[in-house]
A and B are shown apart, each in its own frame.
Chain A
Amino acid sequence: MVTKEKETVSNMKRDWETTTLKKTLDKSPERRERFITTSSRPIARLYTPTDITDFDYEQSLGFPGQFPYTRGVYPTMYRGRFWTMRMFSGFGTAEQTNARFRYLLEQGQTGLSVAFHLPTIQGLDSDDPMSNGEIGVCGVAIDSLADMEILFSKIPLNKVTTSMTINAPAAVLLCFYIAAAEKQGVSSTQIGGTIQNDILKEYQAQKTWIFPPDPSMRIITNILEFCTKKVPRWNTISISGYHIREAGATAVQELAFTLANGLAYVQAGVDAGLKVDDFAPRLSFFFDSHLDLFEEIAKFRAARRIWAREMQERFQAKNPRSYLLRFHTQTAGVSLTAQQPENNIVRTTIQALAAVLGGTQSLHTNSMDEAWALPTEKAATIALRTQQILAHESGVANTIDPLGGSYFIESLTNEMEEETYKYFDRIEKLGGVVESIKKGFFQREIADSAFRYQREIEETDRIIVGVNDYVTEDMLEIPVLKIDPEVERTQLARLQKTRKTRNNKKVDEMLSRLQRAAEGTENLLPHILAAVREYATVGEICNALRDVYGEYQEPIIF
């Protein structure tokens, strides 16, 4: 904007404040002294052109599908194709989750997303003593290729794409998937999907690590290299802010820590000798969408702009696909209340709207009952319908980045970008992401934000409907999903059968080969795949690596 015009607006605003506004404020003051977002960011009364200084359309926004991608990563966005409606699900046995997957595909869902039970996530078999009480409870129980074959039975793996929420043992589950596809006659070059494979945020927030950071980063670069050659349609890392946010981070902390992690992975790939344009296009992101509509939209827009700039300037990427920050969104589980659970449908709708207005590539909407247990089929269907209503009925998908140019949104986008760079500097000064983890920097920042948020609720600086205001005494009873105890028996029996019927001599041989590779510098993936094909279990493979790498111990911070 021209300086003269800005001065005029600035003068007009001063006039308004001293006349019209003052008169009203003298008579009736505002509801609060301070207005804040979900992340405790102060918000001004009104935004005008004076709040977006140095605004340059070309530099700051550009056009959809063009640098710096603030307005969207694709030229037509949802006018071309809606976001992928990808509902995360998994519970019980492979048979049960397979049935839920086929149901969701029939209901119009367009991609699969697997939730594994905690033993799989921790690289433990179902018969490990630590798995006691956890089998099939938080997700589907997968011990070996035998389970994976059932999980994707009658689902053509050359037609659907699958996202797998798996981190520490990501290499093993990717190999299970490749081997399951082979059984269907589908080659690794034909399959598409995502593994989360984001270990850095595990140490920071989600806390399901196995090995220490340095060997974990080595495994990740092995995956980058392997997939570039053998599984070209696979998204190798889903760099995740979701868990950072759920653990208590603010929107800016989510943005800054996630992008810092992303840059650390790219650096690790480059340091391992890979060409940035060979692997960066297969990196994708995963963000949370919380309740503060505008703050979330600004976060998504800032994320795209920062990533594009960093990839171009810091890493000298040449392929435009390396610049694209493509992301999946999940609505904020942490915002769901156990009290008056039906209200969660409304919360989820607002969060889903933020994700769509922010230009997400795929979306999971939480179900209303998730502050109690995993969702029932009915609750999960309502959550999916929420997305379909947004897509087909609300009209928000008709135009691209509809809030672009809003003084408020652009100002917030700029602010969050600046604050992200301040965090980058602090992380850099601590010696980078891995060093900052070892020093407990992220863990402390997140714990502090979580505690402040709780204080604000308890001091009613923040109203949560049904929790600290509009409270009703009688609890609404909603049906809750229960895991049949039969699941445990079925799973343990299948695992036992697998161990009996496979060629155990071969399994041992493959596991020792893997250990030798882990002690050296060879890529681990071909060795893991060889063991998987012989029906080695996730626990056996991870134990082989535990022997070499040890386990991570976290600093206790609260």
Chain B
Amino acid sequence: MTEAEQKIRVLIAKPGLDGHDRGAKVVARALRDAGFEVIYTGLRQTPEQVAETALQEDVDVVGLSILSGAHMRLFPEIMKLLKERKMKDVLVIAGGIIPEDDVKPLKKLGIKAIFGPGTPTGEIVEFIRKHTK
């Protein structure tokens, strides 16, 4: 296998209507610098678009960034659509403005980690390395 083929593939996705892409872009760049293959969806992706891109790009990781407050509606839909596409091995993580009370139910859905404001990007890199084969 060549080096490029072994690279961990990450989709950074922006569901929801908000335009806050600072965090998504900083994380995307830090992951790229850490040696991952990073695809960024751009803004305002529907759950269908996120799941479909994840499938088409054959990613190992989906990172969801949302600051609009619509996560409790959109994340479950994305998880459902990923399952429908038989992507149960994909590692799903999330970040943005997500109140503490919502973290538990989101983890129950299968989102492995929620990285809130102030998370060092190194922590996200480590987490992905540890949780992908």
Q: Which residues of A contact B (CB under 8 A)?
A: 118-119, 121-122, 124, 129-134, 137-138, 202, 206-208, 246-248, 334, 336-339, 371-374, 447, 450-451, 454, 457-458, 464, 467-468, 475, 477, 480, 483, 554, 556-558
Contact = CB atoms under 8 A, between A and B. Distances in A.
If over half of A's interface residues share one DSSP class (helix, strand or loop), that class is named, otherwise mixed; here it is loop
Given A130-B44, A338-B116, A338-B118, A207 B74 contact: no
Q: How large is the interface on B (under 10, 10 to 19, 20 to 34, 35 or more residues)?
A: 35 or more
A454 B74 CA distance: 28
B30 interface: yes
B17 A119 contact: yes
A450 B29 CA distance: 11
Contacts of A334: 22
Given A118-B17, A132-B70, A558-B29, A372 B46 contact: no
Contacts of B46: 129-130
Interface in B86-108: 97, 99-101
B19 interface: yes
A556 B17 CA distance: 17
B85 interface: no
Nearest to B70: A133
B69 interface: yes
Given A246-B22, A480-B101, A556-B42, A458 B17 contact: no
B16 A133 contact: yes
20 contacts: A122-B17, A130-B44, A130-B46, A133-B68, A133-B73, A134-B70, A202-B19, A207-B20, A246-B22, A247-B21, A247-B22, A336-B117, A338-B116, A451-B26, A454-B121, A480-B99, A480-B100, A480-B101, A554-B42, A558-B38
Contacts of A248: 22, 26
B19 A207 contact: yes
A206 B70 contact: no
Given A137-B69, A468-B120, A206 B99 contact: no
Interface string B39-63: 0101110100000000000000000
A140 B46 CA distance: 22
Contacts of B120: 457-458, 468
B28 interface: yes
B25 interface: yes
A450 B22 contact: yes
Contacts of B29: 447, 451, 558
Contacts of B16: 118, 133-134
B127 to A, nearest CB: 15
A137 B97 contact: no
B34 interface: no
Contact of B97 (A371, A450, A454): A371
A451 B30 CA distance: 8
Given A451-B26, A451-B29, A483 B121 contact: no
A454 B26 contact: yes
Contacts of B118: 337-339, 464, 467-468
A464 B38 CA distance: 28
B72 interface: yes
Nearest to B120: A458
Interface in B69-87: 69-74
Interface in B107-123: 116-118, 120-122
A458 B28 CA distance: 16
A372 B19 CA distance: 17
Given A334-B22, A447-B29, A483-B69, 17 more contacts: A118-B17, A119-B17, A129-B46, A132-B74, A133-B69, A133-B71, A207-B19, A247-B21, A248-B22, A371-B117, A372-B97, A374-B69, A454-B26, A480-B99, A480-B101, A556-B40, A558-B40
Closest 10 CB pairs of A and B: A133-B73, A207-B19, A133-B70, A118-B17, A137-B69, A558-B25, A467-B118, A338-B117, A558-B28, A208-B19
A130 B25 contact: no
Interface in B5-45: 16-22, 24-26, 28-30, 32, 38, 40, 42-44
A202 B43 CA distance: 13
Contact of A133 (B20, B21, B44, B74): B74
A133 B66 CA distance: 12
